[in-house]
Structure 1
Amino acid sequence: MATMFPCPSCGGQLKFSPERMQMLCSSCGQYTDPRAYKGNDIENEAGINTTIYTCPNCAGEIQVIDNDGMEFCPYCGTQTTMQEHFSKSGVPKYILPFNLTKKEAREKYLEEVKHIHFVPDGLNIDDNIDKLVGLYTPYYLYDYSSDGDVSFVGKKTSTSGDYEVTKETQFNVRVDVDDMKVPFDASQTFDDNVSGSINPFPLKELEKFNPNFLAGFFVENSTVDKEIYVEDALEEAQNSLCNKVKAKADGYDLTSREDERIHNDVASKLQYKGCEGAYLPVYFMTTRNYDRVSYSVINGASGAVYSDMPIDKRKMYAAAIGASFAIFAVLFVLSLTFSFTYRIKNLCGFAALVSSFIAYYGAKIADGVYRRDNHLDDKGYFGSKDVVTSKNIKPIKKKAKKKITKSSTKAALSGAGAVVLFLILKGGYAFIIAGILYVIENGRAVSNVLNVILMLAMYISSFVFIFKGFNVVKKGQKTVLMLGTFGWIAAILIRIINLPNDIIYYIALAIVFAIIVFTIDCTVREYNRLATRPSPQFLKKGGKLENAKG
């Protein structure tokens, strides 16, 4: 089949090269300016001629203008023959060309992964990383302007001798913004939390749509109505301007009243100018994990990285066993050096605390899994505003990003970290308890008072964890919560019951800690569900970028 982008020198296939920001001929190596190049007539007033590949497994669609066929689905990761048909699709107003090569995106991904503990081996092998797909993703750009001054009062307090001095300063900040674009993805396949994690895009580098930038890359259809994100875009524009205004306070503190005053003033001056469509660049990779998938996404302009990252349980348990032996050895040496012994009943409080913590954290994970699997934080999945309203999907809360490279694993490492944290806490508590018991046994503290305080702190904390756990998990699996609660109750009962000797206490506590280990295993399994997603099933519907005019 003749190429849609023939080289003007040899007729070979031209592909856009992010490295040179030029079109590169795959035959003769000549570079061509994409802004000046005139190829075959692939675009006209009716739209652009494309080939659409549809996955027979998940119904995901991807567009191709001039590229080789698809051997696997980038959304569900299935190795399959994509069903091909032709289409004339409308085009957006803008495009942001790729600025990262596939090699650079690969390096960004590997750099991110190498800092993460317990990464499954299959996620960083060449066969998996080679599935990175350069994909132009549809976005809506909500445009705002603002013109006027925002006034507020800041306070700064200092001390001078015995006096406290408060200085008040009046600030007048000019808010003059003519073209503020707030992006939201227009794709059902692109989770709102994922797209938010790789923001921001350098929108100042937007270009008028030019199909030449698409050469060699894939394109995704827009499937979301623009009305879905109108409220979210307005809130984000207001928050962004408010933060810029408050940044002018220069070390002065603001009262809640002044903060509200700034917000109201900014909101009154903000003007909505309309919405336009754009193609923004991402590298997209899907990895199958049994019946679920994990996504890795790299911003094709800035290099920001998002990655779903499950835990390799074999690696985690190997590290846990090593840490446990090290802790045991240190405590054994300390016990011989300082001649202290543990009070077996005090270990019941520690067991109750650990069980309750795992129960609480397991409840949080279960709630997160339920929300993710049911797309309760992903407005775009539902395609239209009417469906979002009927399902009561809440507005997206975007957090400010502090650095370019992002990863779900750094945001989601609370999951892996919580399991590892248990091991660290176990050792930490053991050292604390050992020190306190040493002091108690050697008569350097008021034994009864200190012991009572320690035990009360443990049991009260454990009760709080259990109480919060049952309040967190409204829906979703309660396996970890119930197992942790069972271990908590067992530890407390062992403490209350007056067993005849220490050996029976040790046996009973060994059973409790076996329950804890099993509960940790269930926690990791549940976390791996949180760090992955159900294999997608898409019902394509919703907006078109070319219709984003208002």
Structure 2
Amino acid sequence: MTEAPAFEQISMTEEHRFPCESCGSDLRFEPGTDLLSCDHCGNQQQIEHSAGFRGQAVRELDFRRAIKEGLSEFDMAEIQTVTCTNCGAHNEFDADTHAAECPFCATPIVTGTGVERQIKPRGLLPFHLSEKEARQQMTDWLGRLWFAPSGLKAYARKGRKMSGVYVPYWTYDAQTQSDYTGQRGTVYYETRRVSVVVNGRRQMRTRQVPKIRWKNVRGRVARFFDDVLVLASQSLPKKYTDGLAPWDLSSMQPYRPEYLAGFRAEGYTVTLEDGYAEAAEHMNRMIERDVRFDIGGDRQQIDHISTDVGTLTFKHVLLPVWVAAYKYQGKTYRFVVNGRTGNVQGERPFSKWKIIFAILFGLIVAAIFGYMVAHGQNNGTFPNGNFNLEWLD
């Protein structure tokens, strides 16, 4: 048996560590730049790219071949992941980390020594926002929420730092061709005489009554789906991750471990097959829309659609998310910030005291207004239900 090259045996967590040339400390990626920075001595190193790296396309993998035959060693990697018992996140940690907090829910977790084989990421979007910028986006978002607890706002503003996490996604490309049968409906109007009652007298009037003329149709539509994005993690509610869209996938870069230096990466928990099942649902909705457009007319009925999927490829990609989990008054609040655009999503906190105060204030205002109306009517200052403004002088 031929021995695999040595670099294939290096785990992804080990690949994420880059020593400083000056002091030997671990470097971290500086968001929004192509630099690795050392927090210990301040040294900065340029991330070296090969010629044409910026315009290099992210390589796709054949879906059917991956399912039937599996992937080569080059496309697989061993990662050390720890599953959070609270939210189910698959967190990656360095080999020398033995205890930490889950960045998604703030639950203490103890790391193990087990490793897991997963498909390597083919591309990523590097972080563009720094932790400070992401925190400001989050506190601004909290500040715009009605009835949010002031204590939580202050805690989020001054509390511990947010965690930068690369969240796993699948993307799918598919060339589709769909044959359909259905009916096209054309609306037309018939003039009818109807009996109506006008001023107590029955009269005959003419009215235009809508009708639909149906015609059997058949046809074919084709569509190429490019980068249908599916979340490959179950650690965050889908409504939050969906709310982080849109992602500038056109800026996707080939995977470089330097961009993960100083950040965490989550292993995928949604399998390649399950991810495609979700992508197929999205594709089917788009195909149905195409069919309705192709049928035309005023109304459409679809009897049957048969779709042939030709070339089908996929890739595992990492997208940057700043994550915060704050425990406030016995409850954990989670917030996520798009590491590229600053879009914020999170659990909506409410202050019961602010709500009670608002209700009481509303009742007091209503009572005062009611008293003024009643007092004005008793003194004749509101004739005919209209205010007499003379009493304001």
TM-score, normalised to structure 2, is: 0.64
1 or 2, which has the higher helix percentage? 1
Aligned with 1:255 (options 298, 302, 305): 298
Kindly provide the amino acid, as one letter, of the partner of residue 138 in structure 1. P
- Counterpart of 1:121 in structure 2 is 150
Residues 20, 27 of structure 2: 8 Å contact kept:
yes
1:279 Cα deviation from its structure 2 partner: 1.4
1:63–1:146 distance in 2 versus 1, CA, 3 Å: same
1:209 Cα deviation from its structure 2 partner: 1.9
SS at match of 1:135: strand
C-alpha separation in 2, matches of 1:93 and 1:205: 14
1:306 Cα deviation from its structure 2 partner: 1.0
Residues 123, 129 of structure 1: 8 Å contact kept:
no
- Counterpart of 1:137 in structure 2 is 167
Residues 134, 281 of structure 1: 8 Å contact kept:
yes
- Counterpart of 1:22 in structure 2 is 35
Residues 88, 235 of structure 2: 8 Å contact kept:
no
C-alpha separation in 2, matches of 1:245 and 1:282: 37
- Counterpart of 2:359 in structure 1 is 320
1:63 Cα deviation from its structure 2 partner: 1.0
Does residue 1:207 correspond to 2:221, yes or no? no
Kindly provide the amino acid, as one letter, of the partner of residue 46 in structure 2. T
Kindly provide the amino acid, as one letter, of the partner of residue 184 in structure 1. V
- Counterpart of 1:32 in structure 2 is 46
Residues 169, 231 of structure 2: 8 Å contact kept:
yes
Aligned with 1:185 (options 211, 231, 242): 231
1:98 Cα deviation from its structure 2 partner: 1.6
Root mean square deviation of aligned Cα = 4.5
1 or 2, which has the higher strand percentage? 2
Residues 336, 344 of structure 2: 8 Å contact kept:
yes
Does residue 1:83 correspond to 2:111, yes or no? yes
Residues 131, 161 of structure 2: 8 Å contact kept:
no
TM-score, normalised to structure 1, is: 0.47
Aligned with 1:106 (options 111, 128, 135): 135
Does residue 1:4 correspond to 2:10, yes or no? no
1:113–1:69 distance in 2 versus 1, CA, 3 Å: farther
1:87–1:102 distance in 2 versus 1, CA, 3 Å: same
C-alpha separation in 2, matches of 1:317 and 1:224: 43
1:236–1:129 distance in 2 versus 1, CA, 3 Å: farther
1:52 Cα deviation from its structure 2 partner: 4.3
Residues 244, 337 of structure 2: 8 Å contact kept:
yes
1:322–1:291 distance in 2 versus 1, CA, 3 Å: closer
1:313–1:87 distance in 2 versus 1, CA, 3 Å: same
1:280 Cα deviation from its structure 2 partner: 1.5
1:145 Cα deviation from its structure 2 partner: 3.0
1:228 Cα deviation from its structure 2 partner: 2.5
1:307 Cα deviation from its structure 2 partner: 1.0
Work out the percentage of aligned pairs sharing the same amino acid: 24
C-alpha separation in 2, matches of 1:238 and 1:271: 15
C-alpha separation in 2, matches of 1:241 and 1:107: 41
Does residue 1:220 correspond to 2:266, yes or no? yes
SS at match of 1:6: coil
1:316–1:67 distance in 2 versus 1, CA, 3 Å: farther
1:264–1:336 distance in 2 versus 1, CA, 3 Å: farther
- Counterpart of 1:306 in structure 2 is 345
1:72 Cα deviation from its structure 2 partner: 2.6
Say which one has the larger Rg: 2
Give the 5 Å matches for 1:505-544: none
Residues 54, 60 of structure 1: 8 Å contact kept:
yes
C-alpha separation in 2, matches of 1:19 and 1:277: 22
Residues 122, 315 of structure 2: 8 Å contact kept:
yes
Kindly provide the amino acid, as one letter, of the partner of residue 314 in structure 2. C
Residues 113, 119 of structure 1: 8 Å contact kept:
yes
How big is each residue's C-alpha offset from its partner over 1:188-247, in whole Å with a ceiling of 9 and x where there is no partner? 312222222222322222222221111110011222223334333123234457779999
- Counterpart of 2:371 in structure 1 is 332
1:264 Cα deviation from its structure 2 partner: 7.4
- Structure 2: runs of 5+ lacking an equivalent: 1-13, 52-72, 188-207, 209-219, 386-393
C-alpha separation in 1, matches of 2:161 and 2:299: 49
C-alpha separation in 1, matches of 2:267 and 2:37: 26
1:48 Cα deviation from its structure 2 partner: 5.1
C-alpha separation in 2, matches of 1:92 and 1:225: 14
Kindly provide the amino acid, as one letter, of the partner of residue 211 in structure 1. P
- Structure 1: runs of 5+ lacking an equivalent: 38-43, 157-163, 165-173, 341-434, 440-550
1:237–1:98 distance in 2 versus 1, CA, 3 Å: farther
1:31 Cα deviation from its structure 2 partner: 3.8
Kindly provide the amino acid, as one letter, of the partner of residue 33 in structure 1. I
- Counterpart of 1:285 in structure 2 is 324
The number of aligned residues is 315
Kindly provide the amino acid, as one letter, of the partner of residue 14 in structure 1. L
1:268 Cα deviation from its structure 2 partner: 4.0
